[in-house]
Chains A and B, each alone.
Chain A
């Protein structure tokens, strides 16, 4: 029963990581690619870590893994936001140089 849940969660996690990677390759420009890169970290990483938590049961290790999930969920949007903002600022700079 436990093994079934672990397998399901891991397959789900790997699926979303795969979709994220395919998205990075297929989508047309930087901002849409950033969407894809942000996506595989939110759900893919969460599902993989959840599988590990179920495997370990209730212990200190699982609590640490929960903190890892929380940390990823705070840092990942921040990093994506910075990439997008840099893109915006570069575009503005380019426009000024063109004029």
Chain B
């Protein structure tokens, strides 16, 4: 019951942001629509442990580090692209992640692609194939900050 309330509340906030108004009509229509969305999607969209409500501090920390990494890496790649003779050494590396759940693996893969200079080519169970623009990036990927934070979040989840 608590889970249903949580997800419908989340949808309602989204609905109010989209409609830009708060009155009774919009509230009633919103509740009906949100319940339908919940009923049709409950198996796929919502795993038992809700990422956004339980670990909001770690989520914020993660987004901050991701933002910083994106800006730094973007600047580096911009320098490479604009320099007259591009010193790139493209290479493909493959490694295994220690993460257990598919959801966190997906987040890790997306973060690796978001930071420029590295690109996730394939993700099969634990095995990841990553394409790097330079050799330095390859070392950064294998021992990345993202994976450490995600491992911590996963450890907390196991304790609960």
Contacts and interface: CB of A to CB of B under 8 A. Distances in A.
Contacts, number: 85
A19 interface: yes
Nearest to B21: A60
Interface residues of A, number: 33
Interface in A31-47: 31-32, 34-36, 38-39, 42-43
B110 to A, nearest CB: 4
Interface residues of B, number: 27
Q: Which of A27, A35, A38, A78 has the most CB of B within 10 A?
A: A35
B81 A23 contact: yes
Interface stretch (B1-9, B71-79, B149-157): B71-79
7 contacts: A16-B74, A36-B77, A43-B70, A60-B20, A77-B109, A77-B113, A88-B121
Given A31-B121, A73-B114, A80-B119, 20 more contacts: A26-B81, A26-B86, A32-B90, A34-B119, A35-B117, A36-B81, A38-B114, A43-B70, A43-B74, A60-B17, A63-B17, A64-B17, A67-B14, A80-B113, A81-B113, A81-B121, A84-B120, A84-B131, A87-B121, A88-B121
